[in-house]
Amino acid sequence: MSNRLQQRFAECAEQNRAALVTYICAGDPGYDASLSLLQQLPGAGADIIELGMPFSDPMADGPTIQAAAVRALDNGQTQRKTLEMVRAFRATDQTTPLVLMGYYNPIHRYGAEAFLNEAHAAGVDGLLIVDLPAEHDNELGPMARDLGLDMIRMASPTTDAKRLPRVLANASGFLYYVSLNGVTGVGQADNAVVDAALAAIRQQSNLPICVGFGVRTPEQAAAFARTATGVVVGSALVEAMFKGGEAAALELTRGLAGAMQR
């Protein structure tokens, strides 16, 4: 399964562009609407999709994605329905990498082994569990790797040289670099500082590095695309969907995709 990520990054490298990684929250504003957007994102230029698993206490997310999670849960979205959404997506798209992003509590409640087996069978390529640091890799990591699921890790400006090797040790798929301290969708990073951090990470790892947090416009995305392997956009897309519907979200995606060329 993880070959989809490897293949997509290789394709982007051949085309001399960064990968556009788009985040949407499963079930926001409702199941059918989010599935429709999910199915159309690749055609609008999304290279990799992060599908958010809504949770009632998403502490790393800013107000936009918190509100999306509330809307999704209020509309009856569950872990089971999120996996159903992945299966529906895979019925028509076998090539776009899809990563489930979220928090450990809903997975623990579902049953870790059952969740991983069903995620693999549905066509998930990787997991990014925000509150499951590298130090707790044994919670999901061994089982996930046995199934071929990538465990994507996060690094940030506060990840020092002593901790970075632990973060990288069992990471696969790509490394998600948080461009600034705080929550998603708030603030803007200093590009020079991010570029220096990516250079330091690359001295220790060959993993693709995707930069996220605070990327809202094609102009901001283009600045990161010059040095990052990929650029993650979430809050801006969720907001576009909420305020302007599917058409607005897809228009933003097309604009962001055009900014990936180096």
CA angle (248, 223, 10) in 5-degree steps: 85
DSSP 57-105: --TTS-HHHHHHHHHHHHTT--HHHHHHHHHHHHTT-SSS-EEEEE-HH
Q: Is 160 a catalytic residue?
A: no
Q: Which of 102, 63, 58 is nearest to 79 (CA)?
A: 102
| DSSP string covering 20-54 | EEEEEETTSS-HHHHHHHHHHHHHHT-SEEEEE--
- Helices 218-225 and 235-258 cross at an angle (nearest 10°) of 60
Instruction: State the catalytic residue, choosing from 28, 50, 137, 150.
Output: 50
Q: With b meaning 16 or more CB within 10 Å and e meaning fewer, what string describes 141-167?
A: bebbeeeebbbbbbbeeebeeeebeeb
- Which amino acid, 46? A
Q: Is 50 among the residues known to form the active site?
A: yes
From 28, 47, 61, 137, the catalytic residue: 61
* Rounded Cα–Cα distance for residues 46 and 251 (Å): 11
Q: Is 75 left (phi over 0), alpha (psi -120 to 50) or beta?
A: alpha
Q: Which residues are catalytic?
A: 50, 61
